Structure 1
Protein backbone atom coordinates (compact mmCIF):
# COMPACT_ATOMS: atom_id res chain seq x y z
CA UNK A 1 0.00 0.00 0.00
CA UNK A 2 1.40 3.37 -1.01
CA UNK A 3 2.05 5.88 1.77
CA UNK A 4 0.70 9.43 1.57
CA UNK A 5 3.47 10.55 3.95
CA UNK A 6 7.03 9.67 2.94
CA UNK A 7 9.05 11.29 5.72
CA UNK A 8 7.76 10.94 9.28
CA UNK A 9 9.20 12.53 12.42
CA UNK A 10 8.76 11.02 15.88
CA UNK A 11 8.60 13.29 18.92
CA UNK A 12 8.38 11.66 22.35
CA UNK A 13 7.79 12.69 25.92
CA UNK A 14 11.14 12.97 27.66
CA UNK A 15 12.24 10.71 30.51
CA UNK A 16 9.58 8.02 30.07
CA UNK A 17 10.55 4.33 29.67
CA UNK A 18 7.17 3.55 28.10
CA UNK A 19 7.68 6.26 25.50
CA UNK A 20 11.19 5.02 24.72
CA UNK A 21 9.84 1.59 23.87
CA UNK A 22 6.95 3.01 21.85
CA UNK A 23 9.24 5.33 19.86
CA UNK A 24 11.52 2.45 18.91
CA UNK A 25 8.68 0.12 17.93
CA UNK A 26 6.95 2.81 15.89
CA UNK A 27 10.21 3.79 14.16
CA UNK A 28 10.74 0.17 13.08
CA UNK A 29 7.11 -0.05 11.93
CA UNK A 30 7.52 3.08 9.80
CA UNK A 31 10.74 1.78 8.31
CA UNK A 32 8.95 -1.41 7.30
CA UNK A 33 6.40 0.80 5.54
CA UNK A 34 9.26 2.40 3.53
CA UNK A 35 9.05 5.72 5.37
CA UNK A 36 12.10 7.84 6.10
CA UNK A 37 12.13 8.23 9.89
CA UNK A 38 13.38 11.32 11.73
CA UNK A 39 13.84 11.17 15.51
CA UNK A 40 13.56 14.57 17.20
CA UNK A 41 16.88 15.54 18.76
CA UNK A 42 15.70 15.88 22.36
CA UNK A 43 13.67 12.69 22.08
CA UNK A 44 16.69 10.74 20.86
CA UNK A 45 18.84 12.11 23.68
CA UNK A 46 16.30 11.39 26.41
CA UNK A 47 15.11 7.98 25.23
CA UNK A 48 18.31 6.56 23.79
CA UNK A 49 16.47 5.77 20.56
CA UNK A 50 18.31 7.01 17.52
CA UNK A 51 20.93 4.51 16.41
CA UNK A 52 20.31 3.77 12.75
CA UNK A 53 17.85 6.64 12.34
CA UNK A 54 18.25 10.26 11.31
CA UNK A 55 18.34 12.66 14.29
CA UNK A 56 16.76 16.04 13.56
CA UNK A 57 16.11 19.33 15.38
CA UNK A 58 12.66 20.89 15.18
CA UNK A 59 13.69 23.26 12.37
CA UNK A 60 14.98 20.33 10.34
CA UNK A 61 11.77 18.42 10.99
CA UNK A 62 9.82 21.45 9.78
CA UNK A 63 11.83 21.54 6.56
CA UNK A 64 11.84 17.79 5.80
CA UNK A 65 8.92 15.99 7.43
CA UNK A 66 5.55 15.33 5.81
CA UNK A 67 4.09 14.24 9.15
CA UNK A 68 5.09 14.41 12.83
CA UNK A 69 3.81 11.82 15.29
CA UNK A 70 3.86 12.81 18.96
CA UNK A 71 4.11 10.09 21.59
CA UNK A 72 3.26 11.48 25.01
CA UNK A 73 0.59 13.62 26.60
CA UNK A 74 -1.06 16.87 25.63
CA UNK A 75 1.91 18.84 26.96
CA UNK A 76 4.25 17.14 24.50
CA UNK A 77 1.79 17.89 21.70
CA UNK A 78 1.57 21.55 22.73
CA UNK A 79 5.35 21.92 22.47
CA UNK A 80 5.53 20.20 19.10
CA UNK A 81 2.58 22.17 17.72
CA UNK A 82 4.12 25.54 18.60
CA UNK A 83 7.53 24.58 17.23
CA UNK A 84 6.18 23.25 13.91
CA UNK A 85 3.20 25.55 13.25
CA UNK A 86 5.11 27.95 11.01
CA UNK A 87 6.26 24.99 8.85
CA UNK A 88 2.77 23.60 8.31
CA UNK A 89 3.69 20.03 9.29
CA UNK A 90 0.55 18.06 10.30
CA UNK A 91 0.64 16.23 13.63
CA UNK A 92 -0.86 13.03 14.99
CA UNK A 93 -0.75 12.05 18.66
CA UNK A 94 -0.35 8.71 20.44
CA UNK A 95 -1.52 9.04 24.03
CA UNK A 96 1.20 8.15 26.53
CA UNK A 97 -0.03 10.64 29.13
CA UNK A 98 -3.18 11.08 31.20
CA UNK A 99 -6.16 12.81 29.57
CA UNK A 100 -5.11 12.92 25.94
CA UNK A 101 -7.47 15.49 24.43
CA UNK A 102 -4.91 16.17 21.68
CA UNK A 103 -3.07 12.85 21.63
CA UNK A 104 -6.12 10.79 20.81
CA UNK A 105 -4.65 7.55 19.39
CA UNK A 106 -4.70 4.85 22.11
CA UNK A 107 -1.27 3.28 22.58
CA UNK A 108 -2.78 -0.21 22.21
CA UNK A 109 -4.03 0.70 18.70
CA UNK A 110 -0.97 2.68 17.62
CA UNK A 111 0.07 0.57 14.62
CA UNK A 112 -3.45 0.19 13.27
CA UNK A 113 -4.26 3.91 13.37
CA UNK A 114 -0.84 5.11 12.20
CA UNK A 115 -1.21 2.72 9.25
CA UNK A 116 -4.58 4.30 8.43
CA UNK A 117 -3.06 7.79 8.60
CA UNK A 118 -0.18 6.77 6.31
CA UNK A 119 -2.72 5.43 3.83
CA UNK A 120 -4.46 8.82 3.70
CA UNK A 121 -7.56 7.88 5.67
CA UNK A 122 -7.06 10.51 8.37
CA UNK A 123 -9.44 13.28 9.36
CA UNK A 124 -7.85 16.75 9.24
CA UNK A 125 -8.58 19.19 12.03
CA UNK A 126 -7.28 22.78 11.96
CA UNK A 127 -6.64 24.57 15.26
CA UNK A 128 -5.94 28.26 15.83
CA UNK A 129 -2.98 29.63 17.80
CA UNK A 130 -2.61 32.78 19.87
CA UNK A 131 0.12 35.32 19.20
CA UNK A 132 1.04 37.11 22.44
CA UNK A 133 3.39 39.98 23.23
CA UNK A 134 4.16 42.07 26.30
CA UNK A 135 4.66 45.82 25.83
CA UNK A 136 6.60 47.82 28.46
CA UNK A 137 7.04 51.58 28.09
CA UNK A 138 6.15 51.33 24.42
CA UNK A 139 8.66 48.58 23.65
CA UNK A 140 8.01 44.88 23.09
CA UNK A 141 9.87 42.91 25.76
CA UNK A 142 8.41 39.43 25.18
CA UNK A 143 6.70 37.53 22.37
CA UNK A 144 5.47 33.95 22.01
CA UNK A 145 2.66 31.78 20.66
CA UNK A 146 0.23 29.50 22.48
CA UNK A 147 -2.09 26.73 21.34
CA UNK A 148 -4.07 26.45 24.58
CA UNK A 149 -4.01 29.69 26.52
CA UNK A 150 -2.35 32.75 27.98
CA UNK A 151 -2.94 33.06 31.73
CA UNK A 152 -2.43 36.29 33.65
CA UNK A 153 -2.14 35.50 37.36
CA UNK A 154 -1.26 37.16 40.64
CA UNK A 155 1.90 35.07 40.84
CA UNK A 156 3.32 34.58 44.30
CA UNK A 157 1.40 37.31 46.11
CA UNK A 158 -1.30 36.23 48.55
CA UNK A 159 -3.88 38.80 47.48
CA UNK A 160 -5.88 39.89 44.46
CA UNK A 161 -4.28 41.66 41.52
CA UNK A 162 -5.92 44.36 39.42
CA UNK A 163 -5.98 44.81 35.66
CA UNK A 164 -7.85 46.53 32.85
CA UNK A 165 -9.32 44.73 29.85
CA UNK A 166 -9.42 46.43 26.45
CA UNK A 167 -10.89 44.88 23.27
CA UNK A 168 -9.91 46.41 19.92
CA UNK A 169 -8.78 49.52 21.79
CA UNK A 170 -12.05 49.94 23.69
CA UNK A 171 -12.06 49.87 27.50
CA UNK A 172 -14.28 47.01 28.75
CA UNK A 173 -13.73 46.76 32.51
CA UNK A 174 -11.33 47.00 35.41
CA UNK A 175 -11.19 43.85 37.49
CA UNK A 176 -9.79 42.70 40.83
CA UNK A 177 -9.23 38.94 40.81
CA UNK A 178 -6.61 36.20 40.85
CA UNK A 179 -6.19 36.82 37.11
CA UNK A 180 -7.73 35.88 33.79
CA UNK A 181 -7.40 33.09 31.20
CA UNK A 182 -7.43 33.87 27.47
CA UNK A 183 -8.00 30.57 25.70
CA UNK A 184 -8.55 29.12 22.25
CA UNK A 185 -11.21 26.46 21.59
CA UNK A 186 -8.41 23.89 22.01
CA UNK A 187 -7.58 25.34 25.44
CA UNK A 188 -11.21 25.54 26.54
CA UNK A 189 -11.00 21.97 27.89
CA UNK A 190 -7.80 22.72 29.83
CA UNK A 191 -7.26 25.21 32.69
CA UNK A 192 -10.17 27.40 31.55
CA UNK A 193 -12.64 24.56 32.06
CA UNK A 194 -11.46 24.24 35.67
CA UNK A 195 -12.31 27.92 36.13
CA UNK A 196 -15.90 27.36 34.90
CA UNK A 197 -15.17 28.62 31.41
CA UNK A 198 -17.20 27.48 28.38
CA UNK A 199 -16.22 24.49 26.25
CA UNK A 200 -15.73 25.75 22.70
CA UNK A 201 -15.95 23.34 19.79
CA UNK A 202 -12.73 23.47 17.69
CA UNK A 203 -14.79 24.83 14.80
CA UNK A 204 -15.77 27.92 16.79
CA UNK A 205 -13.85 31.01 15.72
CA UNK A 206 -13.51 32.66 19.09
CA UNK A 207 -11.34 33.32 22.12
CA UNK A 208 -12.76 32.83 25.61
CA UNK A 209 -11.91 35.24 28.45
CA UNK A 210 -12.34 33.48 31.79
CA UNK A 211 -11.82 35.39 35.09
CA UNK A 212 -10.01 33.64 37.94
CA UNK A 213 -11.83 34.14 41.26
CA UNK A 214 -13.09 37.67 40.51
CA UNK A 215 -13.99 39.86 43.50
CA UNK A 216 -17.51 40.39 42.10
CA UNK A 217 -20.24 37.90 41.31
CA UNK A 218 -21.13 39.72 38.10
CA UNK A 219 -17.83 39.06 36.29
CA UNK A 220 -18.60 36.18 33.92
CA UNK A 221 -16.65 34.47 31.11
CA UNK A 222 -17.09 36.03 27.69
CA UNK A 223 -16.21 34.75 24.22
CA UNK A 224 -15.00 37.26 21.63
CA UNK A 225 -14.32 37.01 17.92
CA UNK A 226 -11.00 35.52 16.84
CA UNK A 227 -10.18 38.70 14.91
CA UNK A 228 -10.33 40.76 18.11
CA UNK A 229 -7.18 42.23 19.67
CA UNK A 230 -7.18 41.69 23.41
CA UNK A 231 -5.14 43.85 25.77
CA UNK A 232 -4.63 43.29 29.49
CA UNK A 233 -3.02 46.18 31.39
CA UNK A 234 -1.53 45.33 34.81
CA UNK A 235 -2.46 48.00 37.34
CA UNK A 236 -0.22 49.42 40.07
CA UNK A 237 0.85 48.54 42.67
CA UNK A 238 0.55 44.90 41.57
CA UNK A 239 2.89 42.85 39.42
CA UNK A 240 1.72 39.72 37.60
CA UNK A 241 2.93 36.47 36.15
CA UNK A 242 1.87 35.45 32.65
CA UNK A 243 1.94 31.79 31.60
CA UNK A 244 1.64 30.47 28.05
CA UNK A 245 0.36 26.89 27.59
CA UNK A 246 1.62 26.26 31.12
CA UNK A 247 5.12 25.86 29.68
CA UNK A 248 6.66 29.32 29.43
CA UNK A 249 6.18 32.41 31.55
CA UNK A 250 6.92 36.10 31.81
CA UNK A 251 7.05 38.15 35.00
CA UNK A 252 5.12 41.34 34.26
CA UNK A 253 5.31 44.65 36.09
CA UNK A 254 2.65 47.23 36.83
CA UNK A 255 1.92 49.12 33.65
CA UNK A 256 2.86 46.23 31.31
CA UNK A 257 0.42 45.48 28.51
CA UNK A 258 -0.28 41.93 27.33
CA UNK A 259 -1.58 41.97 23.77
CA UNK A 260 -3.12 38.80 22.35
CA UNK A 261 -4.54 38.12 18.90
CA UNK A 262 -5.05 35.17 16.60
CA UNK A 263 -1.75 34.00 15.13
CA UNK A 264 -1.17 33.91 11.39
CA UNK A 265 -0.27 30.20 11.51
CA UNK A 266 -2.54 27.28 12.34
CA UNK A 267 -1.91 23.75 13.60
CA UNK A 268 -3.23 20.77 11.63
CA UNK A 269 -4.06 17.66 13.65
CA UNK A 270 -4.66 14.29 11.99
CA UNK A 271 -7.17 11.93 13.59
CA UNK A 272 -7.83 8.28 12.69
CA UNK A 273 -11.09 7.29 10.94
CA UNK A 274 -14.06 7.38 13.26
CA UNK A 275 -12.72 10.24 15.37
CA UNK A 276 -15.43 12.25 17.12
CA UNK A 277 -14.85 15.35 19.25
CA UNK A 278 -17.98 14.59 21.24
CA UNK A 279 -16.83 11.03 21.83
CA UNK A 280 -13.58 12.42 23.24
CA UNK A 281 -15.57 14.67 25.59
CA UNK A 282 -17.72 11.75 26.74
CA UNK A 283 -14.67 9.61 27.40
CA UNK A 284 -12.39 12.18 29.05
CA UNK A 285 -15.04 14.03 31.04
CA UNK A 286 -17.06 10.92 31.92
CA UNK A 287 -20.27 12.27 30.42
CA UNK A 288 -23.16 9.77 30.51
CA UNK A 289 -21.31 7.65 33.05
CA UNK A 290 -23.51 5.92 35.61
CA UNK A 291 -23.34 7.56 39.05
CA UNK A 292 -21.30 5.75 41.65
CA UNK A 293 -23.26 4.10 44.41
CA UNK A 294 -22.26 4.91 47.99
Structure 2
Protein backbone atom coordinates (compact mmCIF):
# COMPACT_ATOMS: atom_id res chain seq x y z
CA UNK A 1 0.00 0.00 0.00
CA UNK A 2 1.50 3.32 -1.08
CA UNK A 3 2.23 5.95 1.56
CA UNK A 4 1.50 8.58 -1.10
CA UNK A 5 -1.40 8.43 -3.56
CA UNK A 6 -1.10 11.79 -5.33
CA UNK A 7 2.28 12.60 -6.87
CA UNK A 8 3.26 15.98 -8.29
CA UNK A 9 6.12 16.19 -10.82
CA UNK A 10 8.33 19.21 -11.44
CA UNK A 11 11.33 19.32 -13.76
CA UNK A 12 13.91 21.69 -15.16
CA UNK A 13 14.23 20.05 -18.53
CA UNK A 14 17.14 21.84 -20.16
CA UNK A 15 18.55 18.68 -21.77
CA UNK A 16 17.33 15.45 -23.34
CA UNK A 17 18.55 13.34 -20.40
CA UNK A 18 16.29 15.20 -18.01
CA UNK A 19 13.32 14.84 -20.34
CA UNK A 20 14.01 11.11 -20.63
CA UNK A 21 14.15 10.81 -16.84
CA UNK A 22 10.75 12.51 -16.40
CA UNK A 23 9.15 10.28 -19.02
CA UNK A 24 10.69 7.18 -17.45
CA UNK A 25 9.43 8.29 -14.04
CA UNK A 26 5.90 8.78 -15.35
CA UNK A 27 5.92 5.37 -17.01
CA UNK A 28 6.94 3.81 -13.71
CA UNK A 29 4.40 5.75 -11.63
CA UNK A 30 1.64 4.61 -13.97
CA UNK A 31 2.26 1.09 -12.66
CA UNK A 32 2.05 2.17 -9.00
CA UNK A 33 -1.65 2.95 -8.62
CA UNK A 34 -1.09 6.65 -7.89
CA UNK A 35 -2.54 9.82 -9.37
CA UNK A 36 0.09 11.90 -11.18
CA UNK A 37 0.06 15.68 -11.60
CA UNK A 38 2.69 17.56 -13.58
CA UNK A 39 3.36 21.29 -13.68
CA UNK A 40 2.33 23.00 -16.90
CA UNK A 41 5.80 23.93 -18.15
CA UNK A 42 7.26 20.47 -17.59
CA UNK A 43 4.21 18.79 -19.09
CA UNK A 44 4.42 20.90 -22.22
CA UNK A 45 8.09 20.11 -22.77
CA UNK A 46 7.51 16.35 -22.76
CA UNK A 47 4.17 16.43 -24.65
CA UNK A 48 2.34 14.89 -21.70
CA UNK A 49 -1.11 15.49 -23.23
CA UNK A 50 -0.17 13.42 -26.26
CA UNK A 51 1.69 10.55 -24.62
CA UNK A 52 0.26 10.11 -21.11
CA UNK A 53 -3.50 10.19 -20.86
CA UNK A 54 -3.62 9.56 -17.11
CA UNK A 55 -1.40 12.50 -16.14
CA UNK A 56 -3.01 15.85 -15.25
CA UNK A 57 -1.14 18.97 -16.40
CA UNK A 58 -1.85 21.72 -13.86
CA UNK A 59 -0.62 25.10 -12.66
CA UNK A 60 1.78 25.07 -9.72
CA UNK A 61 -0.79 26.17 -7.09
CA UNK A 62 -3.10 23.33 -8.13
CA UNK A 63 -0.21 20.86 -8.05
CA UNK A 64 0.67 21.98 -4.53
CA UNK A 65 -2.91 21.79 -3.30
CA UNK A 66 -3.56 18.31 -4.74
CA UNK A 67 -0.28 16.45 -4.17
CA UNK A 68 0.84 14.62 -1.06
CA UNK A 69 4.36 14.15 -2.49
CA UNK A 70 6.27 16.25 -5.02
CA UNK A 71 9.15 14.80 -7.03
CA UNK A 72 11.61 17.27 -8.55
CA UNK A 73 13.77 16.18 -11.49
CA UNK A 74 16.80 18.39 -12.04
CA UNK A 75 19.62 19.86 -9.99
CA UNK A 76 19.67 21.64 -6.66
CA UNK A 77 18.43 24.81 -8.38
CA UNK A 78 15.30 22.99 -9.50
CA UNK A 79 14.62 21.84 -5.95
CA UNK A 80 15.21 25.35 -4.58
CA UNK A 81 12.64 26.71 -7.00
CA UNK A 82 10.19 23.92 -6.18
CA UNK A 83 10.67 24.52 -2.46
CA UNK A 84 9.68 28.18 -2.75
CA UNK A 85 6.65 27.26 -4.85
CA UNK A 86 5.40 24.46 -2.60
CA UNK A 87 6.41 25.27 0.98
CA UNK A 88 3.07 26.91 1.79
CA UNK A 89 1.25 23.68 0.84
CA UNK A 90 3.33 21.54 3.25
CA UNK A 91 4.04 19.02 0.46
CA UNK A 92 7.07 16.76 1.07
CA UNK A 93 9.66 17.02 -1.72
CA UNK A 94 11.90 14.28 -3.12
CA UNK A 95 14.70 15.08 -5.57
CA UNK A 96 16.04 13.11 -8.55
CA UNK A 97 19.41 14.50 -9.60
CA UNK A 98 19.90 15.60 -13.19
CA UNK A 99 22.18 18.50 -12.32
CA UNK A 100 25.82 18.68 -11.29
CA UNK A 101 26.44 18.75 -7.53
CA UNK A 102 23.19 17.28 -6.27
CA UNK A 103 23.43 18.16 -2.58
CA UNK A 104 19.65 18.28 -2.20
CA UNK A 105 18.57 15.88 -4.95
CA UNK A 106 19.37 12.43 -3.59
CA UNK A 107 18.30 9.86 -6.18
CA UNK A 108 20.44 9.11 -9.23
CA UNK A 109 18.54 8.25 -12.45
CA UNK A 110 19.70 4.61 -12.50
CA UNK A 111 17.97 4.00 -9.14
CA UNK A 112 14.59 5.57 -9.93
CA UNK A 113 12.43 2.46 -9.82
CA UNK A 114 14.05 1.00 -6.70
CA UNK A 115 14.18 4.21 -4.67
CA UNK A 116 10.71 5.44 -5.65
CA UNK A 117 9.28 2.04 -4.71
CA UNK A 118 10.96 2.29 -1.30
CA UNK A 119 9.55 5.77 -0.73
CA UNK A 120 6.03 4.80 -1.79
CA UNK A 121 6.09 1.86 0.62
CA UNK A 122 7.23 3.99 3.55
CA UNK A 123 10.99 3.36 3.48
CA UNK A 124 12.35 6.89 3.66
CA UNK A 125 13.71 9.54 5.99
CA UNK A 126 11.82 12.82 6.34
CA UNK A 127 13.36 15.98 7.73
CA UNK A 128 12.36 19.59 8.13
CA UNK A 129 14.41 22.42 6.70
CA UNK A 130 13.63 26.00 7.63
CA UNK A 131 13.53 28.78 5.06
CA UNK A 132 14.01 32.55 5.18
CA UNK A 133 11.52 35.35 4.63
CA UNK A 134 12.97 38.53 3.13
CA UNK A 135 11.39 41.92 2.66
CA UNK A 136 12.80 45.31 1.68
CA UNK A 137 11.44 48.38 3.46
CA UNK A 138 11.75 51.85 1.93
CA UNK A 139 10.60 54.81 4.00
CA UNK A 140 8.63 52.43 6.21
CA UNK A 141 6.83 50.67 3.35
CA UNK A 142 7.51 47.18 2.00
CA UNK A 143 8.60 47.43 -1.65
CA UNK A 144 9.44 43.77 -2.36
CA UNK A 145 9.41 40.33 -0.76
CA UNK A 146 11.10 36.99 -1.29
CA UNK A 147 11.89 33.70 0.38
CA UNK A 148 14.83 31.35 0.25
CA UNK A 149 15.81 27.82 1.20
CA UNK A 150 19.55 28.46 0.77
CA UNK A 151 20.34 32.13 1.20
CA UNK A 152 19.49 35.79 0.86
CA UNK A 153 22.37 37.78 -0.63
CA UNK A 154 22.98 41.53 -0.78
CA UNK A 155 25.45 42.24 -3.60
CA UNK A 156 26.49 45.09 -5.93
CA UNK A 157 24.61 43.84 -8.99
CA UNK A 158 26.37 44.41 -12.29
CA UNK A 159 29.15 46.58 -10.86
CA UNK A 160 32.26 45.23 -9.15
CA UNK A 161 32.27 47.86 -6.41
CA UNK A 162 32.14 47.67 -2.66
CA UNK A 163 28.92 48.30 -0.81
CA UNK A 164 28.48 50.17 2.43
CA UNK A 165 25.85 48.90 4.85
CA UNK A 166 25.05 48.39 8.52
CA UNK A 167 24.12 45.09 10.12
CA UNK A 168 21.68 44.69 13.02
CA UNK A 169 20.66 41.48 14.81
CA UNK A 170 17.55 41.61 17.03
CA UNK A 171 17.70 45.43 16.86
CA UNK A 172 21.27 45.42 18.21
CA UNK A 173 23.83 47.20 16.05
CA UNK A 174 26.55 44.71 15.03
CA UNK A 175 28.80 46.45 12.52
CA UNK A 176 29.11 48.83 9.63
CA UNK A 177 30.91 47.33 6.70
CA UNK A 178 32.42 47.95 3.30
CA UNK A 179 32.45 44.74 1.29
CA UNK A 180 31.05 43.08 -1.80
CA UNK A 181 27.93 42.28 0.19
CA UNK A 182 26.51 39.87 2.73
CA UNK A 183 25.28 36.27 2.51
CA UNK A 184 22.55 35.35 4.99
CA UNK A 185 22.40 31.57 4.94
CA UNK A 186 20.30 28.76 6.38
CA UNK A 187 22.00 25.50 7.42
CA UNK A 188 20.80 24.08 4.09
CA UNK A 189 22.57 26.90 2.25
CA UNK A 190 25.76 26.60 4.27
CA UNK A 191 27.14 24.12 1.71
CA UNK A 192 26.28 26.43 -1.20
CA UNK A 193 27.29 30.05 -1.89
CA UNK A 194 28.06 30.71 1.78
CA UNK A 195 30.67 27.96 1.73
CA UNK A 196 32.40 29.61 -1.24
CA UNK A 197 32.49 32.83 0.77
CA UNK A 198 34.30 31.14 3.67
CA UNK A 199 31.27 30.44 5.82
CA UNK A 200 30.97 27.46 8.17
CA UNK A 201 29.22 24.23 7.22
CA UNK A 202 26.16 23.83 9.46
CA UNK A 203 24.33 20.58 10.07
CA UNK A 204 20.78 20.78 8.62
CA UNK A 205 19.24 20.15 12.06
CA UNK A 206 20.78 23.30 13.55
CA UNK A 207 18.45 26.19 14.35
CA UNK A 208 20.92 28.82 13.22
CA UNK A 209 21.59 31.41 10.52
CA UNK A 210 25.00 32.19 9.02
CA UNK A 211 26.09 35.76 8.28
CA UNK A 212 28.95 35.67 5.78
CA UNK A 213 30.56 38.93 4.57
CA UNK A 214 31.71 38.86 0.97
CA UNK A 215 35.32 40.06 0.53
CA UNK A 216 35.20 42.58 3.39
CA UNK A 217 37.54 45.57 3.31
CA UNK A 218 38.42 44.95 6.98
CA UNK A 219 40.23 41.66 7.44
CA UNK A 220 38.83 41.26 10.96
CA UNK A 221 35.31 40.86 9.53
CA UNK A 222 34.50 37.18 9.83
CA UNK A 223 31.41 34.97 9.40
CA UNK A 224 29.02 34.79 12.33
CA UNK A 225 26.40 32.23 13.33
CA UNK A 226 23.33 33.58 15.13
CA UNK A 227 20.20 31.87 16.51
CA UNK A 228 17.67 30.81 13.90
CA UNK A 229 14.96 33.00 15.43
CA UNK A 230 16.98 36.18 15.00
CA UNK A 231 15.68 39.32 13.32
CA UNK A 232 18.35 40.35 10.82
CA UNK A 233 18.36 43.86 9.33
CA UNK A 234 20.78 45.19 6.74
CA UNK A 235 20.58 48.95 6.17
CA UNK A 236 21.98 49.94 2.77
CA UNK A 237 24.33 52.94 2.82
CA UNK A 238 23.41 56.16 1.04
CA UNK A 239 26.74 56.66 -0.74
CA UNK A 240 26.97 53.50 -2.84
CA UNK A 241 27.97 54.08 -6.45
CA UNK A 242 26.79 50.59 -7.43
CA UNK A 243 23.13 49.65 -7.79
CA UNK A 244 22.74 46.98 -5.09
CA UNK A 245 20.51 43.97 -5.46
CA UNK A 246 19.02 41.41 -3.10
CA UNK A 247 18.89 37.85 -4.43
CA UNK A 248 17.04 34.87 -2.99
CA UNK A 249 18.58 31.46 -3.75
CA UNK A 250 20.36 33.04 -6.72
CA UNK A 251 17.05 32.95 -8.61
CA UNK A 252 15.03 36.07 -7.74
CA UNK A 253 16.50 39.57 -7.90
CA UNK A 254 15.31 42.91 -6.49
CA UNK A 255 17.08 46.26 -6.76
CA UNK A 256 17.55 48.25 -3.56
CA UNK A 257 18.48 51.87 -2.85
CA UNK A 258 20.44 53.76 -0.25
CA UNK A 259 18.52 53.89 3.00
CA UNK A 260 16.56 50.71 2.24
CA UNK A 261 16.31 48.14 5.01
CA UNK A 262 16.62 44.44 4.10
CA UNK A 263 14.78 42.48 6.79
CA UNK A 264 15.30 38.72 7.09
CA UNK A 265 13.57 36.29 9.45
CA UNK A 266 12.83 32.59 9.64
CA UNK A 267 9.81 31.59 7.56
CA UNK A 268 6.89 30.25 9.64
CA UNK A 269 6.38 27.27 7.29
CA UNK A 270 9.08 24.60 7.06
CA UNK A 271 10.03 22.55 4.03
CA UNK A 272 9.56 18.78 4.30
CA UNK A 273 12.39 16.94 2.51
CA UNK A 274 12.24 13.22 1.72
CA UNK A 275 15.46 11.17 1.53
CA UNK A 276 16.21 7.51 0.88
CA UNK A 277 16.81 5.49 4.05
CA UNK A 278 20.59 5.45 3.55
CA UNK A 279 20.85 9.26 3.49
CA UNK A 280 23.76 10.54 5.59
CA UNK A 281 24.77 14.20 5.79
CA UNK A 282 28.44 13.52 6.50
CA UNK A 283 28.75 11.01 3.68
CA UNK A 284 27.10 13.62 1.46
CA UNK A 285 29.78 16.12 2.42
CA UNK A 286 32.54 13.61 1.72
CA UNK A 287 31.22 12.62 -1.69
CA UNK A 288 30.15 16.07 -2.91
CA UNK A 289 32.95 18.19 -1.43
CA UNK A 290 35.81 15.78 -2.04
CA UNK A 291 36.68 15.12 1.58
CA UNK A 292 39.09 12.31 2.42
CA UNK A 293 37.96 8.84 3.43
CA UNK A 294 39.26 6.48 6.13
CA UNK A 295 43.01 6.52 6.76
CA UNK A 296 43.01 3.50 9.05
CA UNK A 297 41.49 0.09 8.60
CA UNK A 298 38.36 -0.42 10.66
CA UNK A 299 37.90 -3.68 12.53
Q: Would you call these one fold, judging by a TM-score over 0.5?
A: yes
Give 1:213 deviation, angstroms: 0.3
8 Å contact 2:23–2:46 — kept in the other structure? Answer: no
Is 2:206 aligned against 1:204?
Answer: yes
8 Å contact 1:92–1:269 — kept in the other structure? Answer: yes
Q: 87, 111, 114: which is aligned to 1:112?
A: 114
Superposition map of 1:39-118 within 5 A: 39-51=38-50, 52=53, 53-118=55-120
- Provide, for residues 118-172 of structure 1, a one-character-per-residue CA deviation record: whole Å limited to 9, x for no partner: 0011100110000000000110000111100000012223321100001111111
In terms of mean alpha carbon deviation, does 37-46 or 191-200 score higher? 37-46
- CA root-mean-square deviation: 1.1
In terms of mean alpha carbon deviation, does 57-66 or 251-260 score higher? 57-66
The 2-side partners of 1:92 and 1:24 are apart by 17
- Provide, for residues 39-80 of structure 1, a one-character-per-residue CA deviation record: whole Å limited to 9, x for no partner: 111111223334311101111111110100001000000011
Q: 1:243 to 1:233 in 2, by over 3 A?
A: same
Q: Which residue of the partner structure matches residue 130 of structure 2? A: 128
The 1-side partners of 2:160 and 2:200 are apart by 27
Is 2:30 aligned against 1:31?
Answer: yes
Q: Which residue of the partner structure matches residue 139 of structure 2? A: 137
Is 2:264 aligned against 1:260?
Answer: yes
8 Å contact 2:9–2:39 — kept in the other structure? Answer: yes
Q: 219, 240, 244: which is aligned to 2:244?
A: 240
8 Å contact 2:8–2:64 — kept in the other structure? Answer: no
The 1-side partners of 2:202 and 2:56 are apart by 39
Superposition map of 1:208-227 within 5 A: 208-227=210-229
Q: Which residue of the partner structure matches residue 18 of structure 2? A: 19
The 2-side partners of 1:258 and 1:199 are apart by 24
The 2-side partners of 1:61 and 1:22 are apart by 20
8 Å contact 1:16–1:47 — kept in the other structure? Answer: no
Give 1:289 deviation, angstroms: 5.8
8 Å contact 1:166–1:173 — kept in the other structure? Answer: yes
8 Å contact 2:97–2:108 — kept in the other structure? Answer: yes
The 2-side partners of 1:29 and 1:129 are apart by 32
8 Å contact 1:71–1:94 — kept in the other structure? Answer: yes
Structure 1 runs (4+) deviating above 3 angstroms are none
Alignment length (residue pairs): 289
What stretches of structure 2 of length at least 5 have no aligned partner?
295-299
Give the match's secondary structure for 2:269. Answer: strand
In terms of mean alpha carbon deviation, does 12-21 or 25-34 score higher? 12-21
The 2-side partners of 1:282 and 1:49 are apart by 38
TM value normalised by structure 1: 0.96
Q: Which residue of the partner structure matches residue 187 of structure 1? A: 189
The 2-side partners of 1:111 and 1:204 are apart by 32
TM value normalised by structure 2: 0.94
Give the match's secondary structure for 1:105. Answer: coil
Is 2:180 aligned against 1:178?
Answer: yes
